[in-house]
Amino acid sequence: EVQLVESGGGLVKPGGSLRLSCAASGFTFSSYSMNWVRQAPGKGLEWVSSISSSSSYIYYADSVKGRFTISRDNAKNSLYLQMNSLRAEDTAVYYCARDSADSCPPDYWGQGTLVTVSS
Amino acid sequence: AIRMTQSPSSLSASTGDRVTITCRASQGISSYLAWYQQKPGKAPKLLIYAASTLQSGVPSRFSGSGSGTDFTLTISCLQSEDFATYYCQQYYSYPRTFGQGTKLEIK
């Protein structure tokens, strides 16, 4: 069974940093591109970042470019999102999601982890 | 970035109704369009990809159509478990943008 479990969320002050993790199991993690998608309270979905299976290709939303860094450790079956210079508008539930195949949309999603940026 | 516009933003319907949600892309995306269903407090669930291909395990009352810039999601006979928020997403190019969502409510 495919499982994605996010962790690392919490309360952080504006300008602070946080590192999210996503532990993957039930599939060959190293074969799949992965994504982070967020959802602000009461709002819609916003794609944040994607990373290819071998980390060769990385993409970011303009809203986080230069502040967030996506990475993965295929030996540990884990996906990460390093978030720096956090702003109030980064407050959201952050989901990790697996692409179903190359050039295909995410088919499995984690349960999400809440990041709250507030003083 | 490609802008995805869904309509309507909200929709009231009854069990057994047929409903259609539309999604328009600001530029052509071929058939690189997915539809998701999201219930409160839960992660999104993939319903349809490649504009019209049903994800495994999704009931056949869900269908999708379209290509280029205009797409539709149709639910042919609403069931109680279908009341949720629906999102389209283009994966033609990065950034992979979502529509703003359509909230389907019980009339």
Q: What pairs with residue B48 in β-bridges?
A: B35, B54
**Which chain A residues contact residue B58 at CB under 8 A?**
none
Indicate if the pLDDT at residue B107 is higher than 90: no
Per-residue pLDDT reduced to its tens digit, A46-68: 999 999 999 999 999 999 999 99
Model pLDDT, residue A102: 84
Tokens representing B107? 């009339």
Q: What is the mean pLDDT of chain A?
A: 97
What span, in angstroms and rounded, lies between the C-alpha atoms of A46 and A43? 9
Q: Count Cβ atoms within 10 A of the Cβ of residue A97 and give its class: 0-12 exposed, 13-18 middle, 19 or more buried.
A: buried
Q: Are B105 and B11 in contact (CB under 8 A)?
A: yes
Weakest-pLDDT range from A84-93, A94-103, B17-26, B65-74: A94-103
State mean pLDDT over B2-29.
Answer: 97
What does R_g of chain A's alpha carbons equal in angstroms? 13
State mean pLDDT over B79-90.
Answer: 97
Above pLDDT 70, what percent of chain A? 100
Single-letter code of the amino acid located at B82: D
CA distances for B68 relative to A49, A103, B25, angstroms: 24, 17, 8
Residue B80 sits at φ, ψ, to 5 deg, of -60, -35
Q: Are A117 and A85 in contact (CB under 8 A)?
A: no
**Which chain A residues contact residue B97 at CB under 8 A?**
47
Model pLDDT, residue A46: 98
Q: Are A27 and A77 in contact (CB under 8 A)?
A: no
Handedness of CA A100, A105, A107, A110 (dihedral sign): positive
* Residues of B engaging A, defined by a Cβ cutoff of 8 Å: 1, 32, 34, 36, 38, 42-46, 49-50, 55, 87, 89, 91, 94-101
What span, in angstroms and rounded, lies between the C-alpha atoms of A81 and A98? 14
Model pLDDT, residue A21: 98
Across the interface, whether the CB atoms of A103 and B91 are under 8 A apart is answered: yes
Indicate if the pLDDT at residue A37 is higher than 90: yes
Across the interface, whether the CB atoms of B43 and A61 are under 8 A apart is answered: no
Model pLDDT, residue A103: 85
Q: What pairs with residue B22 in β-bridges?
A: B7, B72
Indicate if the pLDDT at residue B71 is higher than 90: yes
pLDDT classification of A109: cutoffs 50, 70, 90: very high
Per-residue pLDDT reduced to its tens digit, B37-56: 999 999 999 999 999 999 99
